[in-house]
Amino acid sequence: MTSVPVSVSASASASATKTTQNVFDVGKYETVLRTVETGTESNLPIPPPQQLLIAMPSEAGEFPLLVFVHGYLLSNSFYSQLIQHIASHGFIVIAPKLYTVAGPCATVDIDSTVATTNWLPKGLNYLLPPQVQPNMKKLGLAGHSRGGKAAFALVLEKAATSLKFSALIGIDPVDGLGKGLQTPPPVLTYVPHSFDLDMPAMVIGTELGEIGNTLLFCVTLPAPAPKGVNHEDFFNECRKPACHFFVKDYGHCDMLDDDIELLVGIAINVMCKSGKSREPMRRFVGGIVVAFMKAYLLDDNNDLMAIRDGQETTPVELKTIEFLE
């Protein structure tokens, strides 16, 4: 294992001009963001099993796919800026809306992700422009918070899919309320390198996600990503190849859109400690996902290695970078 303490940061904001010089900037492709309803509302021959938010390049080409699993009690629409960043670098991102309300012991997020993945070969081409072709053999899976747990659970064969994923990404994944308080199906075993993933994995963690927000009257809420069930534990159980990026001074929901539903936004601000601005964290998550996908789906690891070696400036400060090689 390679573990590198780092202190790399940048204060520059995202440029409106497209560039391919840095994965943390907007990519070279203009993007299209589309919401697709399920059932008869979709007007498709084979409608998706869930409402989908899809970000894709508008230009002609064949592009790898990324299925993105949103967090608990959140919505796919809260990640529109993040998935457009990823799509601008030449990926099709499919984010199903998994549920509106679900209990902490429900597995609807896993079941809905399976249903969406199984639908892709039959239905995806009906909603893409003719010039935009998906490459079903280059398929990644990413999830945030409990969506990260769901992503790991799916590839650990807690549920079966008709397609094979080739890369796995957990964005501040959480396996419950604390050690011994895992929600079903439990993913963590607390046995080092026990995950039999058969694919490369990347785990992203946030420093403030491990800390409960303090309200008036000195009331401290539980941490949204508590130690014992968070990113460190997920990475500890990964086998090589795997990498881990631990972000300083940013919180569990800092990769979401700037503008989300008012009441949800208030709830997030109450429950989660946050950094000064979401934009740097969102750029980092988008960029590191692009670098990881390029490395393991497109056989181009230049950006990922440059970030690992401190040769590519990141928009946030990283506490540690770890690689299992």
Element spanning 81, H or E: helix 80-87
CA-CA-CA-CA torsion sign (226, 139, 254, 309): positive
Q: Is the pLDDT of residue 275 over 90?
A: yes
What are 244-256's pLDDT values in tens digits? 999 999 999 999 9
Q: Is the pLDDT of residue 11 over 50?
A: no
CA 184 to chain CA centroid, nearest Å: 20
Residues 31 and 56 sit within 8 Å (Cβ to Cβ): yes
Residues 163 and 121 sit within 8 Å (Cβ to Cβ): yes
SS3 for 139? strand
Q: What is the Cα–Cα distance from 53 to 247, expressed in whole angstroms?
A: 27
What are 107-142's pLDDT values in tens digits? 788 989 999 999 999 999 999 999 999 999 999 999
Neighbours of 127 (CB within 10 A): 18
Higher pLDDT, 109 or 281: 281
Mark whether 145 is an active-site residue. Answer: yes
Residue 155 is classified by DSSP as I
State the catalytic residue, choosing from 144, 231, 244, 252: 252
Mark whether 252 is an active-site residue. Answer: yes
Largest Cα span, the chain: 58
Residues 135 and 63 sit within 8 Å (Cβ to Cβ): yes
State the catalytic residue, choosing from 75, 88, 112, 145: 145
CATH number for 120: 3.40.50.1820
Mark whether 25 is an active-site residue. Answer: no
Q: What is the CA radius of gyration of the chain?
A: 18
pLDDT bracket for residue 102 (50, 70, 90): low
The full 3-state SS of 57-72, as one line of letters, equals ECCCEEEEEEEEECCC
Number of domains in the chain: 1
pTM for the structure as a whole: 0.91
What are 185-196's pLDDT values in tens digits? 899 999 999 999
Note down the domain range covering 36.
2-324
